[in-house]
Chain A
Amino acid sequence: MLRLFKKILTTGIVTERISMRSHAERGNEDELEALGIQIKRHIDKRFSGSIAIRQVDAGSCNGCELEIHALNNSFYDIERFGVHFVASPRHADVLLVTGPVSRHMQTALLRTYEATPNPKWVVAAGDCAACGGEFGVSYASCGTVSNVIPVDAVIPGCPPTPVALMKGLLGLMTVEK
């Protein structure tokens, strides 16, 4: 147990350990902080302090999921800006959808969308969700998310990096609905 506490203490809070990085990376960190603060401001104004995101993989290769996961690591710690991931669409303000929508997931995505209470926002994350990516439309794939449900914002990238995901979410905040 002592080793555990020692490791926690010596690790410190990486989220704020900005000055210890190289200059190039510090630029990235500053941008992250600035981005986060902007997101927080919008969330405070429009969502009373927090937004709940339900992530739906509608057919992705799982690359996007890896980067969405990273938003929760201690570097990005997206919860500090009022963004958190929830287990049910019924608790969600935003659906974060990845992948080309496979035809086998089409009904599931529609039902998840229906289960999300109004007002709701849909973000299509990743090239496949945004434009079909490598998969496009075929006998097995519906292509973009907007081919299946209305989309409010898209985040390109294969996969989008955590910073790109944060920028995309900020973009959503500024969408008039």
Chain B
Amino acid sequence: MSSSNWTADFLSRLSADIRVDRIDVPSITLWQIESRTWRRFAELAQQQNLRWAAGWAEQLDKQFFVNSCFEKQGEYVLLRTIIDETNPELPSQATVYPAANRSERHTQDLFGIKFVGHPDNRRWTRHQAWIENSYPLRKDFPVQGAPVGVTPPDMHYPFIKSHGAGVYEIPVGPVHAGIIEPGHFRFQAVGELILNLEERLGYVHKGIEKIAEGRTPESLAKLAGRVSGDTTVGHCWAACMAMEQAAGVEIPPRAALIRGILAERERVANHMGDIGAICNDVAFVFAQMQFTRLRELWLRTNATVFGHRLLMDKIVPGGVACDLPDASCSLIKKEIDELRTELTEVILAMDLNSSLEDRLYTAGFLSEQTATAFGVVGYVGRASGQDRDVRRDAPYAPYDRVTVKVALENQGDIASRVWIRYKEIRTALRLIENFIDKLATGELRSEWRTPEAGSEGLGIVEGWRGEIISHIRFDADNKIARFYPRDPSQLNWPALEKLVLNNIVPDFPVCNKSLNGSYSGNDL
């Protein structure tokens, strides 16, 4: 999508109301405003249909930088305000943008920054691993913290209650029945009908942002590859892109194409796993068996060609750590041909199955309005009419060399989310072929340049789950000062609370799988 240059127009509108300083940072549109106008900016941004995409803070000496990232038509604006350590508060944007809600609570728990007027100022990421009024991401907080022998459970979190005849509560988790990540879900139900769902996440908070500090670029890339294991390529790419921006390093064309192939292979693997798992949750085991089989074959090719089934650590700062010889290219192309045939057979068998239709159509409905309000991204958004894809809207190498056809549905149910995934697999297969055709001999990795202290970068890529935003700031001596990865799950999790309403409790697993948020990517 071509840039309509809304930023100039928006800036002139803003100037009547608030003061905006345009800060010159390479490859980032950075606007700085006074903290008291933080919410006012959000109000004006919302009037212009800007999407709130990410929020995080950083500490520099005795000041906090508070950041929000907005997007419209593929153009990203990084909004920043600077507040003083002695009075760390500013107006909340969450009253305007519900998407900012949990993000601001995360910042509140980890930095002790108060968002005045926040609609829900309960703690979010903090359970009981550190005490109230201590803030792990402040520079004076030691990385080891001051843990007690056994961290007590978070017993007294004030969940929303409901009362009335026949209303009951179902607590689920953190340890679930399946082989999945931990999190807590609190249902209020009448009979089988879900009246309300409240998520309580944060169980897999591993202090990723804190332990990133002081790392070298290589070491940070490894950590980024483990923000969410299923998105190892996506997160690693976003983090490397941010570091490369900060360092002014351009990656070689061959490396960009290989990154594209890796990312699309990750997308195909995960989408196949998801379609199978969704069908399995409504007891349609045929699809589960077929898709896990296809996924396994796909992963084996990953191991043969790239040396790792999940493609971990293949993207490195400055390029890639793997090559794609001609023999591998033809192997991949042959596999794609076979996969297309198989997919067609399996999908036709699924499409004509009435029991599957019965369970997936109209279930887990997410309206276009709710999806817009929560800024939902990725396949969940695209199944509810959110026509967004970073690969097309803000193309980065190698996607700037191809046309990305973005699948879109507007039914907003689980079936839509299955079809979107299927269409995205087909698109990804075409993209892989395209990238292979474009491969020319060349370097795999550019030489690294130590970035200046204080330089920053913003990596934005379309991971298989959706848009990933990664912010990096360097310290002196090639060391990381701050790393913040915004997984798409952070924007999509709140949508689950909405799309399960008026569904039956036994359909929760399939609703959850249709969204498939990452717990690890959310909790950091």
Contact = CB atoms under 8 A, between A and B. Distances in A.
B445 interface: no
A139 B206 contact: no
A86 to B, nearest CB: 9
Interface string B113-154: 000000000000001111000001000011111110011111
Interface string B468-493: 00000000000000000000000000
B153 A107 contact: yes
Interface string B209-229: 011000000000011001111
B325 to A, nearest CB: 16
A57 B145 contact: no
Nearest to B134: A139
A139 B153 contact: no
A14 B293 contact: yes
A59 to B, nearest CB: 5
Interface in A32-61: 55-61
Nearest to B346: A7
B174 A63 contact: no
B292 A104 contact: no
Contacts of B232: 63
Contact of B205 (A11, A64, A67, A140): A140
B147 A139 contact: yes
Contacts of A3: 345, 348-349, 352
A3 B344 CA distance: 11
B228 A61 contact: yes
B228 A138 contact: no
A156 interface: no
A56 B175 CA distance: 7
Given A104-B202, A139-B147, A62 B130 contact: no
Interface in A49-85: 55-70, 72-75, 85
B249 interface: no
B229 A8 contact: no
Given A61-B520, A73-B296, A4 B286 contact: yes
Given A104-B205, A106-B151, A57 B144 contact: no
Interface stretch (B56-64, B178-186, B447-455): B178-186
B136 to A, nearest CB: 5
B211 A61 contact: no
Given A61-B227, A74-B289, A159-B310, A102 B204 contact: yes
Most interface-central of B145, B207, B229, B519 (chain A CB within 10 A):
B229
Contacts of A31: none
Given A7-B346, A66-B273, A139-B207, A103 B295 contact: no
Contact of B309 (A67, A104, A106, A135): A67
B141 A139 contact: yes
Contact of B229 (A14, A55, A64, A74): A64
Contacts of B175: 56, 89, 108, 112
B292 A139 contact: no
Interface residue SS majority, chain B:
loop
A18 interface: no
B177 A87 contact: yes
B169 to A, nearest CB: 19
Interface in B413-450: none
A159 B229 contact: yes
B353 interface: yes
Contact of A62 (B210, B228, B349): B228
Contacts of B336: none
Contacts of A85: 179
B14 interface: no
A104 to B, nearest CB: 5
A62 B348 contact: no
A25 B222 CA distance: 29
B290 interface: yes
A84 B210 CA distance: 38
A158 B312 contact: yes
A144 to B, nearest CB: 13
A6 to B, nearest CB: 8
Contact of B203 (A63, A66, A105, A137): A105
A77 B152 CA distance: 38
B229 A7 contact: no
A20 interface: no
A68 B178 CA distance: 11
Contacts of B227: 61
Contacts of A72: 292
A27 B165 CA distance: 63
Interface string B308-324: 01101000000000000
11 contacts: A7-B286, A57-B181, A60-B181, A61-B226, A61-B228, A62-B181, A63-B230, A63-B310, A102-B205, A104-B128, A135-B206
Q: Which 3 A-B pairs have the closest CB atoms?
A: A139-B145, A63-B229, A140-B207
Given A14-B293, A61-B228, A63-B230, 17 more contacts: A3-B349, A7-B345, A57-B179, A59-B204, A65-B179, A102-B203, A103-B128, A104-B204, A106-B150, A108-B153, A138-B210, A139-B130, A139-B136, A139-B147, A140-B210, A142-B147, A161-B303
